[in-house]
Homo-oligomer: A and B are copies of this chain.
Amino acid sequence: MLVSELETPAVVVDLDVMERNLSRMTEYCRRQGIALRPHTKSHKIPDLARRQIESGAIGITVAKIGEAEVMLDSGITDILIAYPLVGRGKATRVAELAERADITVSLDSLEAARTISEQVTARNVKVGILAELDVGFGRCGVANEKELLMLAEQISVLPGLEFRGLMFFPGQFVVGPTERSALLGDVNDLLGRTQEAFERAGWPLATVSGGSTPTAYDAHKFLGVNEVRPGMYIFNDRNMAGIGVAGVEDCALSVIVTVVSNSVAGRVIVDGGSKTFSSDRYLAGDRCGFGLVKEDPDAELETLSEEHGHLNIRDSMHRYRIGERLSVIPNHVCSTVNMHDEIYGVRGERVETVWSVAGRGKVR
């Protein structure tokens, strides 16, 4: 099948670009001696997770147990669930997974650790734990080295849990290169103090897991980081291009849409809206718009209804006709992929693969 034969809206991945993105990250991590544990929330496709493993990743990261279950069913056996799992139901499912694979969970509370400990002990299995440190994003994670050491000590005496080190998520680094550099000092102060505290306690941290796509290629600048968890790098998106982490030519994923109306002056309507792209905002520059129209950068995907994309064409010289197809790079690939039951892998004009987004909707 040809790309031009796909019904729209259709999410397509340029396989050449995707493979280049994968190789580049693998090569960087190998050169730096940093373990690569990609976050599969960006694609939720077992086949792509396996390709990441085959090209050198030590395992994968997921956000939810349901995603871990899908990945494990496809044969992936080293999974970090980078999410504080709370409650007996979730702890039971983690224990069940741990019977079949090497499972690590990140958390920041004794409550979460205790429940998991109870359930894995009941099944006579073991789960690895990364204690989460807040390095300034203010989402999850304890505040400093003292609290982390205390949490690690509490974890280490709970049966069935194996303390494996620290994890952090530098979410505040979704900004331009200058701001990213400026943020590094504070993070490294905290990382340095934390690693010293553990060393003084005679307990050096085996794993220091950092990074996401915006910081991945700077991973070697973060003190002691020996594992990274980038997700978006496999596809990249308008946000990553906007903050200078990738070029537009590195964006492997786009959404093919069709012009369905040109009745209103200064505007055309395409057949993808928030239920195709997601409503995720642009986080760089003027923070406006929902995607980059590859064929016409002067057109702005200004507003999204649920199924309509409103293209402002006042600054464009192009005369749009009904039925015309456009390729749009979305703001945020993770959210876009998550809207779809299947997406297409294409090479040139040929559709090479149809992937089922098997981890989609696994919110629990």
Contact = CB atoms under 8 A, between A and B. Distances in A.
A363 B339 contact: yes
A10 to B, nearest CB: 8
Given A108-B261, A139-B261, A139-B269, 6 more contacts: A86-B260, A87-B258, A112-B322, A147-B263, A274-B335, A360-B361
Interface string A337-364: 0111100000000000000000011011
A273 to B, nearest CB: 9
Given A9-B363, A171-B305, A306-B335, A86 B322 contact: yes
B274 A134 contact: no
B305 A260 contact: no
A279 B276 contact: no
Contacts of A87: 7-8, 258, 323
Interface in A46-86: 63-64, 83-86
A272 interface: yes
30 contacts: A7-B364, A41-B307, A63-B306, A63-B307, A64-B307, A83-B260, A83-B271, A84-B260, A84-B269, A85-B260, A86-B271, A86-B322, A87-B258, A87-B323, A108-B263, A109-B263, A111-B322, A111-B323, A112-B260, A138-B267, A138-B310, A139-B264, A140-B260, A140-B308, A143-B265, A274-B280, A279-B281, A306-B335, A340-B361, A360-B361
Contacts of A252: none
A108 B307 CA distance: 16
Contacts of A269: 84, 139-140
A268 to B, nearest CB: 10
A167 interface: no
A259 interface: yes
Tell which of A8, A132, A140, A308 has the most Cβ of chain B within 10 Å.
Answer: A140
Interface size classification for chain A? 35 or more
Contacts of A262: 109
A267 B84 CA distance: 15
A20 to B, nearest CB: 25
Contacts of A90: 7
A317 to B, nearest CB: 21
A264 B7 contact: no
Given A86-B271, A109-B322, A323-B111, A339 B364 contact: no
Contacts of A275: 335, 338, 363
Interface in A259-314: 259-265, 267, 269, 271-272, 274-276, 278-281, 305-308, 310
Nearest to A134: B264
Contact of A261 (B9, B41, B84, B171): B84
A161 interface: no
Nearest to A281: B279
A142 B41 CA distance: 42
Given A258-B87, A306-B334, A334-B306, A141 B263 contact: yes
A362 to B, nearest CB: 9
Given A64-B307, A111-B323, A264 B141 contact: yes
A89 interface: yes
